[in-house]
Amino acid sequence: MAKRKKTPWPTKDAMTQVYDMKLWGGTGFDFYSGEGSHNPEIIEPYLQVLTAFLKSHKSLLTVCDLGCGDFNIGKHLTQFTKTYFAIDIVESLIERNKILFQEENLEFQCLNIVEAPLPQADCVILRQVLQHLSNAEIEKVAKKLMNYKYVILTEHVPTGDFTPNKDIISGQGIRIKKNSGVNLLEPPFNLKVQEATKLGEHILNDGKGQIVTWLFTNLTQNP
């Protein structure tokens, strides 16, 4: 029997399956990026703090949104940016977004953020993306984040004490079942930051942790 050819992009296949099979819900939607991108209790405070941050600069920032999903979040932020690069690994999702959302300062790109070079920008947004990646993949992305002055990182983590960065296989799941979550400042990533500001947190009603957003300024690698 011939061996099955190994796919070179297992994360892409996993995320494509999430949308094709509606594993994050969204009956009636063609693409649905989950409650975290649609629940008003979660997204409205998030949009408030991000809008305030973007408007606080004298000159408009160029933003790179890694893992833009169905763009239910990003569509509210483009007006406050000079250029908005919206990136996702799912090709059919990006092609759909290109049709639905068209602005002069908006550019959609289908990229594997782990392997591909990323656009130059002032600020990168990563909203509940790293939590789906293995530590090896996060390591590759983390090195690229040091090219941006501002990193706005949102992660689903446990409440209370937890052991950060327990490894997982990349896919739809996250570390919450292991009482863990992503923290780039802890091993094995060990990034350091000039300034860290917690922009917001939302404790989930189902008792399955909280969604926390941080603003990191000038991430670097610990020696």
Domain extent, residue 152, equals 10-21+30-221
* Residue 15 neighbours by CB under 8 Å, 6+ apart: 89, 90, 132, 171, 172
Q: Provide CB contacts within 8 A for 199, sequence distance 6+.
A: 46, 49, 50, 53, 152, 213, 214, 215
Summarize pLDDT for 40-97 with one digit per residue, the tens.
Answer: 899 999 999 999 999 999 999 999 999 999 999 999 999 999 999 999 999 999 999 9
> Total domain count for the chain?
1
Residue 165 belongs to domain with CATH number: 3.40.50.150
Would residue 61 count as lying in a domain?
A: yes
pLDDT digits (tens, 9 = 90+) for 164-214: 999 999 887 899 999 999 999 999 999 999 999 999 999 998 778 999 999
| Inter-helix orientation angle 10-20/91-100, to 10° | 60
Residue 172, domain member (yes or no): yes
Residue 2 has pLDDT above 60, yes or no: no
92: Cβ contacts below 8 Å, ≥ 6 apart: 16, 19, 31
5 within a domain of the structure (yes/no):
no
Confidence of residue 23 (pLDDT cuts 50, 70, 90): low
User: Does any domain span residue 38?
Assistant: yes
The pLDDT assigned to 26 comes to 67
Q: What is the reported pLDDT for 138?
A: 97
Inside any domain, residue 2: no
**pLDDT attached to residue 5:** 42
Judge whether residue 140 has pLDDT over 60.
yes
Given a cut of 80, whether residue 34 has pLDDT beyond it is: no
Does residue 8 register a pLDDT over 60?
no
In a domain, 45, yes or no: yes
Confidence of residue 221 (pLDDT cuts 50, 70, 90): confident
Question: How high does pLDDT run on average in the chain?
Answer: 90
What is the reported pLDDT for 14?
72
Residue 110 forms part of a structural domain = yes
- Percentage of residues in the chain with pLDDT exceeding 70? 91
Give pLDDT, residue 1: 40
**CA angle (221 as vertex; 57, 164 as ends), nearest 5:** 95
